[in-house]
């Protein structure tokens, strides 16, 4: 079954955080500590990949059926800048991330279908200055953004081990347009499925200040090629406050109603009490409210077009277990 078919068949449970889970696991004084580093979880992937596999395992054990690879900050340009890696060396890192997910599946759910989703982070992750929360990219064109994402997209498009590609935490409207333009070029032969989740300023605005209604209108009404229409399986949000998600969903659906079209298929995996002081990207805190998390997940499940639910920063196996329990109840 394809990822798209699975989304249409029933709601599916995504995994939770990787980077912040590593931060909780690895003491700050440990050489493997990732907090505030430009490579983030990719550092552990390169040096101690078994730790990545263990986190994947923990989510599968709690009911996740989707594993997102640990490559959010592992673009070719990022690996070249911080590790002086060649294209071939970068591809080996990307392969290692996929292998970590595959290993976890073999250990926990060898006879079950688990979707491996390859993560491609925003250009803001390369800048490593918090731009994925602001969309402040400086002077960069859509064509330059296409080239930034090209190598990773081409690699994952050719991989038989990747079920879907996730462009995550996208804060800028021009980057959304770049991704859809690039997908049309790269995916025309392989038809690999992908989704785009957005980084938002609030429930009504993309992080760069663009009204979400404009972004949704573009996705719903632009005359895309058959390649994009077939392969672009969902949009949604991630790395946003979980309290904002229900209104985000409502705004997406209002746009569809205003255009008299079917609503977008949505995937949501927000933060759970993550607060980031952008004056110092290494300093942030978590303020969890567990009783509110389940209530929020219940609310998201009331929207029939929300087909994938998971967690981003500061979520862990217990939050995924809550999602799994609630989703199972709503699927039956």
Termini Cα distance of the chain: 20
What gap in Å lies between CA 52 and CA 161, rounded to an integer? Answer: 17
| Phi-psi category of residue 128: left, alpha or beta, with phi > 0 → left and psi -120 to 50 → alpha | left
SS3 state at 104: helix
At 195, phi and psi to the nearest 5? -135, 165
313 is in an annotated binding site: yes
Q: Are 190 and 158 in contact (CB under 8 A)?
A: yes
190 is in an annotated binding site: no
- Closest by alpha carbon to 245, among 290, 158, 310, 166? 310
- How many C-beta atoms surround the C-beta of residue 270 within 10 A? 27
User: Length of the chain, please?
Assistant: 332
239 is in an annotated binding site: yes
Q: Are 156 and 118 in contact (CB under 8 A)?
A: yes
Which residues define the annotated binding site?
239, 312-313
Annotated binding-site ranges for Zn(2+):
239, 312-313
């Amino acid at each position: 079954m394809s990822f798209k078919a699975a989304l249409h068949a029933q709601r599916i449970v995504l995994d939770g955080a990787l980077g912040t889970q590593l931060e909780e696991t690895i003491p700050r004084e440990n050489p493997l500590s990732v907090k505030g580093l430009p490579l983030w979880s990719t550092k552990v992937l390169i040096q101690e990949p078994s730790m990545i596999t263990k986190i994947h395992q923990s989510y599968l054990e709690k009911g996740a059926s989707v594993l997102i690879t640990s490559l959010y900050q592992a673009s070719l340009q990022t690996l070249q800048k911080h590790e002086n890696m060649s294209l071939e060396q970068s591809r080996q890192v990307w392969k290692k991330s996929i292998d970590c997910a595959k290993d976890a599946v073999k250990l926990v759910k060898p006879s079950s279908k688990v979707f491996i989703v390859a993560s491609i982070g925003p250009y803001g992750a390369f800048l490593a200055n918090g731009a994925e929360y602001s969309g402040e990219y400086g002077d960069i064109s859509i064509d330059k953004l296409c080239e930034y994402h090209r190598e990773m997209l081409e690699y994952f498009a050719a991989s038989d081990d990747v079920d879907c590609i996730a462009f995550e935490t996208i804060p800028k409207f021009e980057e959304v347009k770049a991704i859809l333009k690039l997908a049309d070029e790269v995916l025309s032969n392989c038809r690999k499925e992908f989704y785009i989740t957005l980084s938002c300023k609030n429930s009504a605005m993309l992080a760069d200040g663009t009204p979400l209604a404009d972004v949704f209108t573009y996705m719903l009404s632009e005359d895309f090629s058959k390649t994009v229409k077939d392969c672009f399986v969902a949009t949604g949000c991630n790395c946003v406050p979980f309290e904002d998600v229900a209104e985000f969903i409502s705004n997406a659906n209002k746009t569809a109603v205003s255009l008299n079209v079917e609503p977008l298929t949505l995937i949501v995996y927000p933060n759970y009490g993550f607060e980031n002081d952008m004056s110092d990207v290494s300093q942030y805190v978590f303020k969890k409210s567990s009783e509110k998390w389940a209530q929020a997940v219940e609310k998201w499940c009331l929207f029939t077009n929300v087909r994938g639910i998971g967690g981003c920063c500061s979520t862990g196996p217990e939050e995924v277990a809550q999602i799994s329990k609630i989703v199972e109840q709503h699927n039956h």
